[in-house]
Amino acid sequence: MDKNLPLTEALFYILLAVRKPNHGYGIIQEVLEITNGRLSLGPGTLYGAINSMLEKDWIRLYSEDKESRKKKEYLITSKGKEIFQAEAERLKELVRNAKLIEE
């Protein structure tokens, strides 16, 4: 099993939110929307995760607006997509196995 798995829920949703270029506030809003308000990322959690994922090359800096409070947009990398897909497969297995209890 990949040593990076399982992902935390925050990492999973951040990777999902940067499948297209997105900035910090946009990521927070998208995660809220995707989870119907269940998961609210605080700035400390978000930016700690972003820094970690930048170091691991799971995401990259897409653009930086130096005029407007240095707003940065991030985008998932091919390595990040691989990690995300591996986690999605792991979660599918969990759901398949959970259904066994219903039988």
Domain definitions of the chain by residue range = 9-102
Can you tell me whether residue 38 is helix, strand or coil? coil
The one-letter code for the residue type at 50 is I
CA-CA-CA-CA torsion sign (45, 55, 75, 58): negative
Can you tell me whether residue 95 is helix, strand or coil? helix
- Each residue's pLDDT tens digit, 27-51: 999 999 999 999 999 999 999 999 9
Task: Write down the pLDDT at residue 1.
Answer: 56
Task: Write down the pLDDT at residue 71.
Answer: 87
- Tokens at 18, concatenated: 């940067």
Class of residue 23 by CB neighbours under 10 A (exposed 0-12, middle 13-18, buried 19+):
middle
Single pTM value for the model: 0.91
Q: Return all residues near 28 (Cβ < 8 A) that are at least 6 apart.
A: 40, 41, 43, 46
Looking at domain 9-102, does it have CATH number 1.10.10.10?
yes
Can you tell me whether residue 28 is helix, strand or coil? helix
Question: How confident is the prediction for the chain on average, in pLDDT?
Answer: 94
The one-letter code for the residue type at 58 is W
